[in-house]
Amino acid sequence: MYQKTILGNGLRILTSTIPHTRSVSVGFFIGVGSRYESDEEGGASHFIEHMLFKGTAKRPTARDIAMAIEGVGGLFNGSTGQESSLYWAKVALPHLDVALDVLVDMLRHSKFDPEEVDRERQVIIEEINLTLDTPDSLVHQLINELIWPNHPLGRDIAGTRESISTLTREALLTYLNQHYRPDNTVISVAGDIEHETIVEKIATLLGTWHTGDTASFQPFEDNQSEPRLRIHYRETEQAHLCLSVPGIPRNHPDRFKLRLLNTILGEGMSSRLFTEIREKRSLAYSIYSYINAMHDTGAVGIYAGVDPRRVQNAIQAILAELDKLKQDSVSDDELSKAKEFVKGRLLLQMEDSFSVAAWFGRQEVLSPEVLTVDQVIEAIDGVTGDDIKQVARNLFGGNKLNLAVVGPFKKEEERFRELLKL
């Protein structure tokens, strides 16, 4: 389903040919994110992402860059994660050369104009303020701090107001040169294309890009031995809570079992949490579970927004659902439906050229092997109800629980702490 070429400088090029589609998508996947930052560099990866859209010698302003893509009806954007950064464009096939030229220009020739750096610094600080002012965003940040205390993974990807205020243009460029290297980059292209043609185009644009020393991240060691709690007082109409436990690394053998467990627990309107907490008990409007997986660690979490007067009932009901997964094997019927949900969503996703490019590019930059859709479907089909029960028992131990709550609670820490004493 894809072809791969590695240039002499280590740059990896992946292509996926999708006949009959009229769009082509290009993704530049960089193997660096917020966990690679020191405390002083906090937010550097995200800051750089912002700056690459602010102007190059060839396209001096942000508007010039935007018009180059949007002027041909294309879409483009960037994002920063904890372990990778992405820059992408999706255009009609005749405009592939424009998309490649713009992305390479941004990646290699951004000006980092000092005045733009200072302006964008204020924009990012406002972005951080927005997180702090938004309870459902804040509670996710608080739960990360509990799961990964005193570690870059527990810090906001955008950094802190203090770190962003002191990051200099020189520090950003040093960080950029250290991590934005060809051997740390994957370019994934999907559409009605030929592999050799794409390789030739990219080699012409980036064949002389020089590599550098390999950068590393701070590993994480889980030493949690008792539940952790964080209550943040805020006069809100809803209590926002996240209940989470340490998960598993991205390439753990149990990852497909956990994917199905998460689907059964809290993904979609047929999940157990949605059915029990919202439909039957009317305890929440929004409730879901999620998985976060990194190179060497991970998290499994549940978010809910509930009436502050009923927060205790909601937490108890959520914990009861976790206990059911530990005690009872999932029925064949429920497991079959979960498998079809996962496979169906995956197949629908692969109808889009950008999703195909991202599927292969993200795996290539983050994982030791790249799986095809068929390989993942085969792994999903092999999971049993007992497999899911065993994963639940491994993960949902009482001493590993973490609870973050944002809401109108003062001097009620002990009441919440009692709920975690299973």
196: annotated active-site residue: no
Q: Are residues 174 and 321 in the same domain?
A: no
Q: Are residues 201 and 247 in the same domain?
A: no
Q: Please give the residue range of the domain that contains residue 287.
A: 228-419
- Number of domains the chain is built from: 2
Pairing of strands 23-30, 85-92: antiparallel
- Output phi, psi for 295, to 5 deg: -55, -45
Q: Are residues 40 and 110 in the same domain?
A: yes
Token readout for 313 is: 């009932």
CA distance 27 to 13: 10
pTM: 0.95
The size of the chain, in residues, is: 422
**Cα–Cα distances in angstroms (integers) from residue 195 to residues 3, 19, 151, in the given order:** 7, 13, 41
Q: Are residues 258 and 138 in the same domain?
A: no
CA distance 339 to 365: 27
Q: Are residues 198 and 272 in the same domain?
A: no
Output the pLDDT for position 235: 96
Output the pLDDT for position 214: 75
Q: Are residues 356 and 414 in the same domain?
A: yes
Token readout for 297 is: 């660690």
Output the pLDDT for position 398: 83
CATH code of the domain in which 195 resides? 3.30.830.10
Domain stop point among 171, 206, 241: 206
Token readout for 335 is: 């497991």
Output the pLDDT for position 213: 78
CA distance 91 to 72: 7
Name residues of the chain where pLDDT drops below 70: 422
Output the pLDDT for position 422: 56
Q: Are residues 66 and 129 in the same domain?
A: yes
Hey, what amino acid is at 5? T
Q: Are residues 277 and 196 in the same domain?
A: no
Out of 37, 40, 41, 49, pick the active-site residue: 49
Identify the burial level of 287 via C-beta atoms within 10 angstroms of its C-beta, where 0-12 means exposed, 13-18 middle and 19 or more buried: buried
Buried b (16+ CB within 10 A) or exposed e, 138-158: bbbbbbbbbbbeebbbbbbbb
Place of tokens 């109409």: 237
Output the pLDDT for position 169: 98
| Percent helix, percent strand, percent coil in the chain, to nearest 5 | 50, 20, 30
Q: Are residues 186 and 239 in the same domain?
A: no
Q: Are 238 and 306 in contact (CB under 8 A)?
A: yes
Task: List pLDDT tens digits, range 89-100.
Answer: 999 999 999 999
- Identify the CA nearest to 299 among candidates 140, 81, 85, 134: 140
Q: Are residues 293 and 334 in the same domain?
A: yes
Residue 223 lies in a domain: no
Domain stop point among 161, 176, 206: 206
